[in-house]
Structure 1
Amino acid sequence: MNHPRSARGALPRHDDRRRSFPQVAPRDAPDGRFAATWWGNAWVEALEGAALDPARLARGKAYAGRGHVDAITVTPGRVVAYVHGSRTRPYRTEIRMRTLGDDGWERFLDEATARPDHIAALLDKDVPHALEAVTGLLPAPGDLVPDCSCPDDGYPCKHAAALCYQAARLLDEDPFVLFLMRGRGEQELLAELTRRNAARSAAETTAAAPPMPTVPARAALAATAAGLLPLPRPLALPARPGRPAVFPPDPEAPDPLALDLLASEAAVRAHAFLATGHDPVAALTPWQDAVRLAAAHPGSGLTASTRALYRDLAYALDRTPTDLARAVAAWRQGGSAGLAVLEEPWDPPAGPFDRARPALLAADFPAFRPWRNRLSTESLQLRLGRDGLWYGYESDAGREDWWPRGEPDPDPVGALTDLLGG
């Protein structure tokens, strides 16, 4: 007699990396947008930012709103569904995206378990902005790759657009769907979060600070006749800056990511001032400080949160987001000195600048045209900074649209070699 759990009668095993969802009922978000959460709308922005035909997007949104998308199956890197079109037989449609690598998941888990409020938010089906900023969970325009069995070669076709819109509603309901798209199942993530949180709590308990010395009130009052008691020694400087409070999203409040960024920045500056007695940020202009803040933002590429940050900082200083993005590239290239190289042409004295062109020609590089502190070809440029370093720039041929690239170098040949990736 066969055992009830033999191969034929075995209970099905749960697959944490494959989830299927029934057809999502049409609905409108309270603000009229297609999705109701910030991460759902960021998903929609990634779709719309890469679409080549707004008319196909509009038809796809209408298909999604009328319930043309059947049950959706999500596995790592893939979202699949059958979408009904004008023909009787539905089309098999899928959206592909890359999964996060081990390094990305390590950053996510480290950041999530570093703050109990992040874990609480995830358990409450909420995604803190800080986690997206650190790991780049949400796709950027171009990250979503549509495919459909229909004959339309649009990018995306209306069926793929409809699937993308419906997937945003899945993300509204459960952000762990996004984590599955990026490669990790819900139970797998929760188990790892639990393990790391327990380890962090144990480490904090072991390394708890010793109790502060106290003085009984009676002793303090009795001593007033003879004079004041000596002040206690200052508290020891913490090993690292503190973390800011949680700023939940509120339509009437400033952006929570911006508040988190500014509060974290204030904590870092206060910690540095206590440690050194010096605040290097105090001497920066508002523009330099805005560039520094944007350059310190941990987002990878122009995610939805990064675009909002750039837009708001640029608007506050009467600049464009492109101005800020170029300045951020210069700051990351060389700090305040790199920003000065971007914005301040100057006339260098004779010496290193005059020797640069013969050195480049001797290294078999093309001839460069000099202008003030700059040497240029149609698409390459070297700029001499006041710090004596050469900074590389690139532009499309025939356009004066120079962007910082590569590492600064005291040798022009070295800076150009790094710029060219050699």
Structure 2
Amino acid sequence: MAAPDRDGELRRTFPALPPGPAASEDFAGTWWGNAWVTALEEGALDAARLARGKAYAERGHVDAITVTPGLVLAYVQGSRPRPYRVQVRLRTLDDAGWERFLDAAVERPGHIAALLDKELPHSLAECGVPLLPGPGDLAPQCSCPDSGHPCKHAAALCYQTARLLDADPFVLLLLRGRGERELLDALSRLNAARAARAAQDRGPAPLPGVRAGAALAERTLPPLPAPLPAPPHPEQPPAYPAAPGGPDPFALDQLATDAAARAHALLTTGRDPIGGLTLWRDAVRLAAARPGSGLTAGTRALYASLAKAAGRDTAELARAVAAWRQGGPDGLDVLEEAWDPPAGRFDRARPLLLAADLPAFRPWRNRLTHPRGHVQLRLGRTGLWYAYESEPGRDDWWPRGTPDLDPVGALTGLGGTGDL
């Protein structure tokens, strides 16, 4: 998962590429990009999965791509709502291989110039070091249940990676184990050493210099460049490894994703959408954002941590999460606050319920309770009715259903009128 603020010399994150051009014989635009595609296609076991993967890539199903030595990682949207985590591994070069590559690169001045121009010369790629992968060198892995080699999601990531290589061959070099800055520094040192040996053979040359007065003279600095435009959507965080005794990687992923969404909203609108929430409300919001409805072991641990931080117990948090999922912050207000509504909508609710062949609900403040004590309607301050259920006589109310402007509509899904 992508997090551009964590990028460094050995980690680069690329935003999701736009949908590609219509299907053509050559997916990539450069010879080295097409060499990558050839390695993928010649090592694949199923042409149909490749075709599906290419279609996924062309339609923009591949999210932001993170490249580190020996690994390409991204999330790919498949047929299910939750995207799949896909990675493709490639063996890195050892130190001896890099020495051969650097020696070959400084042999011709044009090699370094070509790399700076984001070009990969044939002569440099064929210097005896396996820069480009061959059939079977790409090792895909996907969280989907498909056991194909590769599955369509991994194929989509490989096709999109070819487009990254088109734009910058240093992505290929990073995959093989070295970052752009490290390589350029090494090439600069080797080139300087070769130039120094050549100069020594020619004899000393006059040293260039600048007069102190010219160096210290006042000068007007150019204006700073305009800030970069905000990305169209928040990026995905990286995949956090699980470690014995360490934090839950899924919880870290959830917090990082939430922070990225808040930062993107602040960058694009100038406002933090949840900056005014109390500690308790923010804990409820975070717990409600956890996918799924059941209390798994991981969910119980998360609820316990959030409840303890907010000074509440796990049962209170679970009930508050149900209210938040029912109606957001307004739903939580309805759960936690009873208030006296003005005459009007509240007074008209009881006749509407009677007209729907329901018994006379007992009023108390903003609440109407079924005479059997198992169903309750609560009026929110925005005019919506919220349904609650409880075991008869226990006064243990839990939010149920979907809020509605119509009190009878809010009871939809809690059973037929005969059951109520």
Pick aligned residue for 1:237 from 230, 233, 250 = 230
SS state at 1:292 partner: helix
What's the TM-score, normalizing by structure 1? 0.52
Alignment-mate amino acid for residue 392 of structure 1: A
Alignment-mate amino acid for residue 339 of structure 1: L
SS state at 2:403 partner: strand
Pick aligned residue for 2:268 from 265, 271, 275 = 275
**Equivalent residue for 2:394?**
399
Residue 402 of structure 1, CA deviation: 1.1
- Deviations 1:180-230 (CA, angstroms, capped at 9, x unpaired): xxx945x2385234223224435666899xxxxxxxxx9xx9998342211
**Equivalent residue for 2:349?**
356
Confirm whether residue 225 of structure 1 aligns to residue 207 of structure 2. no
From the CA coordinates, give the structure whose radius of gyration is larger. 2
Residues 206 and 335 of structure 1: CA distance in aligned 2, closer, same or farther (over 3 Å): farther
**Equivalent residue for 1:112?**
85
CA RMSD of aligned residues (A): 3.3
Q: Partners in 2 of 1:340 and 1:225 — Cα distance?
A: 63
- State the aligned residue count: 245
SS state at 2:357 partner: coil
Q: Partners in 2 of 1:189 and 1:323 — Cα distance?
A: 47
Alignment-mate amino acid for residue 195 of structure 1: A
Q: Partners in 2 of 1:353 and 1:340 — Cα distance?
A: 17
Residue 287 of structure 1, CA deviation: 0.6
Alignment-mate amino acid for residue 111 of structure 1: Y
**Equivalent residue for 1:284?**
277
Pick aligned residue for 1:194 from 149, 154, 158 = 154
Is the 2:384–2:405 Cα contact (8 Å) retained in structure 1? yes
SS state at 2:363 partner: strand
Is the 1:407–1:419 Cα contact (8 Å) retained in structure 2? no
Q: Partners in 2 of 1:416 and 1:247 — Cα distance?
A: 43
**Equivalent residue for 2:45?**
none
Q: Partners in 2 of 1:398 and 1:266 — Cα distance?
A: 43
Superposition map of 1:60-99 within 5 A: none
SS state at 2:84 partner: helix
**Equivalent residue for 1:368?**
361
The alignment-based identity, stated in percent, is: 57
Alignment-mate amino acid for residue 315 of structure 1: K
Residues 421 and 301 of structure 1: CA distance in aligned 2, closer, same or farther (over 3 Å): farther
SS state at 1:370 partner: strand
Residue 324 of structure 1, CA deviation: 1.2
Confirm whether residue 262 of structure 1 aligns to residue 222 of structure 2. no
Residues 324 and 277 of structure 1: CA distance in aligned 2, closer, same or farther (over 3 Å): same
Q: Partners in 1 of 2:216 and 2:379 — Cα distance?
A: 67
What's the TM-score, normalizing by structure 2? 0.52
Is the 1:405–1:419 Cα contact (8 Å) retained in structure 2? yes
Is the 2:78–2:153 Cα contact (8 Å) retained in structure 1? no
Is the 2:78–2:84 Cα contact (8 Å) retained in structure 1? no
- Deviations 1:229-266 (CA, angstroms, capped at 9, x unpaired): 11101111112212223322223432222222111111
**Equivalent residue for 2:174?**
none
SS state at 1:316 partner: helix
**Equivalent residue for 2:51?**
none
Residues 313 and 191 of structure 1: CA distance in aligned 2, closer, same or farther (over 3 Å): same
Alignment-mate amino acid for residue 407 of structure 1: T
- Deviations 1:51-93 (CA, angstroms, capped at 9, x unpaired): xxxxxxxxxxxxxxxxxxxxxxxxxxxxxxxxxxxxxxxxxxx
SS state at 2:323 partner: helix
Superposition map of 1:16-415 within 5 A: 106-107=80-81, 110-113=83-86, 116=87, 184=145, 187-188=147-148, 190-202=150-162, 225-377=218-370, 378-415=373-410
Residues 245 and 358 of structure 1: CA distance in aligned 2, closer, same or farther (over 3 Å): same
Name structure 2 gaps, 5 residues minimum. Answer: 1-76, 90-140, 169-209
Is the 2:265–2:273 Cα contact (8 Å) retained in structure 1? no
Q: Partners in 2 of 1:184 and 1:250 — Cα distance?
A: 25
Q: Partners in 2 of 1:303 and 1:354 — Cα distance?
A: 42
Residue 396 of structure 1, CA deviation: 2.0
Name structure 1 gaps, 5 residues minimum. Answer: 1-102, 121-175, 209-217
Q: Partners in 2 of 1:390 and 1:275 — Cα distance?
A: 34
